[in-house]
Structure 1
Amino acid sequence: MHHWLAVFDRETARPPEGLESFKVAEKPHAFPGEDESRAEELCKAKLSVAYEHSKPEARKMAVLGHGNGFSFEASPYCSYANREGVHVVLAGEVSDWPGISAVAAAHDAFVRNEDPPEQNDAHWLLDFYTSFMSSSSADDTTGKALECLAKVQGNFAFVIYDEIQKRVFAARDAEGGQPLYWGATDEGQLLLGSHLNDLDGCEPTATMFPPGTLFASTRHTIAFSPGNQGWVINEGDWPGQLLSFLVDSDGTHWRGIKAIPRINSRGQLFGAVYKVASMREVVETVEVPVPPPKAEKMQFLEANKQ
């Protein structure tokens, strides 16, 4: 299985409440740009673990600044792409994107002796993201992402980092065909990758990313008062959301997510295991007419004789 890893600084993305260690949860919010060199150093250190585990002839690293980056083992089933500030890595193989059959498009290009419409699945993922990323709000974008993901056919695990919108998406197919793990370090980094042993420094929070879910994190603008300096505007790093793109039994709602807390011997929260809720059982009540007893039936017939 190919190695790939995505690393994000706490100022870029935060996991859902419960995945962070208690040490990180107690840390105050940092100012943008604070200790930038330290963030870069930590990012490279984490990426180098997956890089060293990858095949030398195929391994690549993309350090993107601000403590964010990717390490990946390039192959037909693990690819990276970027376009206009959007960076993606995808593992697996997708046959159909919403409204587009990647297999049919590649076949048609081959028959016409033309270049493939896209270089690899990562470029298809960029097209996929572009189809819903221009929504008016972060909530609208996330909602459209869920609708689109429910239509994707294939086995996949991917991460999208939009440095312009300051947005991070990660998802795994409903069947869990591709491995995906995530965890948070005591420094506040969020790591997502294909192998558990690549998530250096994430113990004990490291755990499996649940199949059929989308992680969405977008920074928001907040106002706060830093002492006697008055009120200033700053970008907040609110915890991200973990949402299911599996439809519930009613066909109109997404299934819920169950968070099972993990507690250490001192009673401190050090992470959680997340699972998609099972489809609700729907029991239809059907009224079956019961024939009346024989005596009552005879009385009824006698009373209704013409």
Structure 2
Amino acid sequence: MQERKSKMLAIFQKNFARPPPELISPEHAGCQRHPKNSDEILRDFHAAHPGHSFGATFSGGAALASLGPRSPRPSFLHQRLFCSYDDVYCVFVGSIHNLSSLVRQYGLSGKSADEALLVIEAYRTLRDRGPYPADQVLKDLAGSFAFVVYDDATGAVFAALSSDGGVPLYWGVAADGSVVIGDEVEIVKGGCGKSYAPFPAGCMFHSEGGLRSFEHPMNKVKAMPRVDSEGVVCGAGFKVDSSDKFNAMPRVGSAANWASTWNA
């Protein structure tokens, strides 16, 4: 049901994150739907949920938005969370079934830890110590989820969608080149025109390393052209390429750092 759906939005100007170029649709004369600038897309989100939405904006052109606690409660499986800690911000939709064991693993016992705080702590661990490849950290999250993390200290963006695709997530490119990520297709599609697509399940996006599969980390991700009902080329979808693999396994160990997963 519509009122049970979660709502969240993240927008990052191109100095923070550059999406795959295939996500940008070629311009077509006579196209009825043109992309909007990022600030207009953010206003549309708040206008669509008057009295319920809130957001955080950052210098340089980053913004996160979600529905607040007074909005209709989402389903238990698609809970909506917003959290910040140590200059790291996370919007999270879904649920993690093994939350209790992961809370203990990341040393969060005794704290009021939810899924969003857990994702922040997992990100900070990858950023600062990198004991495991990012794909393994995400594989450890059992459940249906989508999240976007923004690190205001470094300007890094990190987003992921669970392998089951149980939570809807879309991304696109605004008129000013900003990347737009959200779970509300009307907002993303309406704001990005033809330059939008479903975010690929089992994949992660990092502002430095781009799009990768955490479900199949040794395989590259390839763009799949999409054409809408009007016959117009849209932003490409993406899927794992079973025939195209990376040459080496990501490095693991105390010397590994955040970028090692992408730089293998």
**Above 0.5 in TM-score?**
yes
Q: For 1:57-96, what aligned pairs fall within 5 Å after superposition?
A: 58-74=52-68, 77-96=79-98
- C-alpha distance in structure 2 between counterparts of 1:201 and 1:94, whole Å: 30
- C-alpha distance in structure 2 between counterparts of 1:261 and 1:73, whole Å: 33
Q: For 1:1-306, what aligned pairs fall within 5 Å after superposition?
A: 1-22=5-26, 42-54=37-49, 56=51, 58-74=52-68, 77-96=79-98, 100=102, 117-135=111-129, 144-199=133-188, 200-218=190-208, 241-247=210-216, 254-262=218-226, 271-277=235-241
Map Cα deviations across residues 239-265 of structure 1 (whole Å, 9 max, x no partner).
Answer: x52111114xxxxx534323113479x
- Kindly tell me: are residues 45 and 117 of structure 1, through their superposed partners in 2, closer, same or farther at Cα, counting changes over 3 Å? same
- Give the AA of the match of 2:134: A
- Give the AA of the match of 2:212: L
> Any stretches of 5+ residues in structure 2 without a counterpart?
28-35, 70-75, 245-264
Report the RMSD for the aligned CA atoms in angstroms: 3.3
- Give the AA of the match of 2:49: S
- C-alpha distance in structure 2 between counterparts of 1:186 and 1:63, whole Å: 19
Map Cα deviations across residues 142-182 of structure 1 (whole Å, 9 max, x no partner).
Answer: x7221200111111000011122221111000001111000
Corresponding residue number in structure 1 for 2:256: none
Point out the more displaced range, 78-87 or 207-216: 78-87
Identity of aligned residues (%): 27
Q: Which has the higher contact order (CA 8 A, sep 6+)?
A: 2
Aligned residue-pair number:
219
- Give the AA of the match of 2:145: F
- Kindly tell me: are residues 96 and 279 of structure 1, through their superposed partners in 2, closer, same or farther at Cα, counting changes over 3 Å? farther
Higher Cα Rg: structure 1 or 2?
Answer: 1
CA contact (8 A) 2:195 2:234 kept: yes
Helix, strand or coil: the match of 2:21? coil
TM-aligned CA deviation for residue 4 of structure 1: 0.8
TM-score (norm 2): 0.72
